[in-house]
A and B are shown apart, each in its own frame.
Chain A
Amino acid sequence: MTDNNPEALVNVEGVRMHFAVGNSLAAAIRGKSTIVRAIDGVSVRLKQGESVGLLGESGCGKSTMGRLLLRILEPTDGRIIFRGTDVTHLKGQPLKAFRQEAQLIPQNPYEALNPRFSIGKSLHEPLENFRPRSTHEQLIDKVLKLVKLDGQRSLLDRYPHEVSGGQLQRIVMARALVLEPSFVVADEPVSMLDVSVRAGVLNVFRDVRKRLGLTAIYISHDLALVRYVCERTLVMYLGRIVEDGPTEEIVREPLHPYTKALVAAVPEPHPDQSRAPLPIKPGSPDARRQPTGCRFRDRCPDSFDQCIKSAPRPVVVGNRTVECHLFSAVSPEA
């Protein structure tokens, strides 16, 4: 099972992740279990060293996608190839090896570390499992320097509640990087932080990624943050990627109607900004009740007959891939 494209670090092929919800025994007997299609057919290639934003609203499946990429979850269907190896259903020793390559930077730094472990112990723990003892101090020094906490070795003796949020998120980042992974998934890493320290953490993330040539996924609902750290953006809606392309192009001229709404909704920190109504109908995506045809059609301001009849397929438009009938071979007039 090898991949013949050496450029792709991660290759996702037709991945689906379906969860059964509200399944009591009684419901199962009556055959009334509900299936939530959290990820519903995602295929994407991540190039070595690429930084990719995964953008969407809550419930769109972006965090589930992150967990699938890290093999924290096993998909219902499809495969994930990492550096030519199928990691979809890895178990045991090979999974342990993969864990050193692919790491998560979680959303909430306050919950990410064991409160009873000193910060030094939290940083040592992955090393205890995977690296010879003689290298530990050197690796820790290296990673502290990377997240700009060198010169603050006294932090190692403190506990998570004794350090500030900005420092804590850098420590969480350091823990994810201490094994020198080649792939990281950052799940809204600054959303819990104070505004004045966010910029610092984003700068560290940007810098580390470039310096190590890491391949990174940055999950967020805020395109302004994604723009700051990612050259490419994947827009997710109800478990599918509806637009994929260079971030700057997406910011300048979004193609998919959903992306248009996301771009228009980003609040700007200065008084002169558009206050025009958003080009989207009210409502929120619900993976349990998906419309037939295009899954965005009930909120889409541009939907037409074809959107009820069939689900759009991905179409290549310049540097981008868009999943919308407006760009399909079928013209709106047909």
Chain B
Amino acid sequence: MSGEPLLSVSGLKVSYGMPHGRVTAVDDATFEVPRGAIVGVVGESGCGKTTVARALTRVMAGNARIDGGTARFDGPDILALSERAMNRLRWRDIAFIPQSAMNSLDPVYTVRAQLREVLRKRGGHSARSAEARAVELFEMVGIEAGRLSDYPHQFSGGMRQRAAIALALALEPKLVIADEPVTALDVIVQRQILDQLKTLQERLGLSVILVTHDISVVAYVCDRVVVMYAGRVAESGAMRTVLTEPQHPYTMGLCNAFPDLSGAMGILTPIEGSPPDLSDPPPACRFEPRCPFSLASCGERTPRLSTTDVSHRVACHRAGEAAELRGDAAKVETWAALA
């Protein structure tokens, strides 16, 4: 995890064309993916996390447009590459696991046919070596090779997710972008898939961007975390530091809003209100309307992501007082005052 990061995203801005004009879904997103690390991108629906993932693969909705920023992947800026050059990177260097594994698998082809297609067309495998590799991949993700002849609907949810992982790893990419890979799964299957992903990531030295809304998934497998709120990065850094010493009030709120099994049974502290409508966002800090610690300046000046310490960046005017604020953030009354 040393040296140049595999991927450096800087000032990424993405908008969607809507009937009433363009809506900026991702605004000035900056973060890094070190080599051999799992980076969690965490946030609620509409925070822009999936848009970031899609922009990095350049497979986007028809009304989406990249308005600015760079994403240096092992050197070149992938946002500036021609479609042709980008297409050469897909599967071979950057693979994508979409939100629902059922959507990444074609229902009318067997899983074998889909693996072979990637291996042969993208990886230049011969028929024989593609078959051998398909068997190897299935063993790697823990499905019997005999099930290669099955169609996706014959698989359980967990098996489909494993098959999607096998497909993503087929050509040994450097970076895997997984969008909510375990969201629709039960706790037991979720844990097994995360264990598998972590084992493979370590064994193959992969870098992974794991998009999720679930902070406990981040806590379980990620090395680093990027917390997004309303299209912007609120906080980023090493997972342990961000989760145990959060500096942004939103991260503090997220950490207190989850029930767990080991802690004492206190009362959960909800973050009152809901995320803003991005077609009409708050003028400065986007968390200001829900933030119990906001000052007058929070409604006037947009907080920028700090640059002093790249290992823990935060976009909050009161980041310097984080240690004191954390105590208050754990109290229900603090947040309830805004209700």
Contacts and interface: CB of A to CB of B under 8 A. Distances in A.
Interface of A: 57-58, 148, 164-167, 194-200, 202-203, 221-225, 227-228, 248, 251, 261-271, 273, 275, 277-278, 280, 282, 284
A202 B256 CA distance: 13
The 6 closest A-B pairs by CB, nearest first: A200-B270, A267-B216, A199-B268, A199-B270, A164-B274, A196-B271
Nearest to A221: B186
A199 B257 contact: yes
B195 interface: yes
A57 B188 contact: yes
A277 B188 CA distance: 11
Interface residues of B, number: 45
B255 interface: yes
Interface of B: 44-45, 142, 156-158, 186-192, 195, 213-217, 219-220, 239-240, 243-244, 253-262, 265, 267-272, 274-275, 339
B44 A194 contact: yes
A199 to B, nearest CB: 4
Contact of B219 (A57, A166, A269): A269
Determine which residue in B45, B186, B192, B213 has the highest number of CB atoms from chain A within 10 A of its CB, and name it: B186
27 contacts: A57-B187, A57-B189, A148-B339, A167-B274, A195-B215, A195-B257, A196-B257, A198-B270, A199-B257, A200-B272, A224-B258, A224-B261, A225-B259, A227-B261, A248-B265, A262-B188, A265-B188, A267-B216, A269-B219, A270-B219, A270-B244, A270-B260, A271-B219, A273-B262, A277-B195, A280-B188, A284-B157
A265 B219 contact: no
Given A194-B213, A269-B243, 18 more contacts: A58-B186, A196-B275, A224-B258, A224-B259, A224-B261, A227-B265, A228-B265, A248-B265, A262-B188, A263-B261, A265-B190, A267-B190, A267-B214, A268-B260, A269-B260, A271-B219, A275-B195, A282-B142
A280 B187 CA distance: 12
B220 to A, nearest CB: 5
A236 B187 CA distance: 14
A58 B216 CA distance: 20
B132 to A, nearest CB: 24
B187 A222 contact: yes
A268 B269 CA distance: 16
A45 to B, nearest CB: 25
Contacts of A277: 195
B259 A271 contact: no
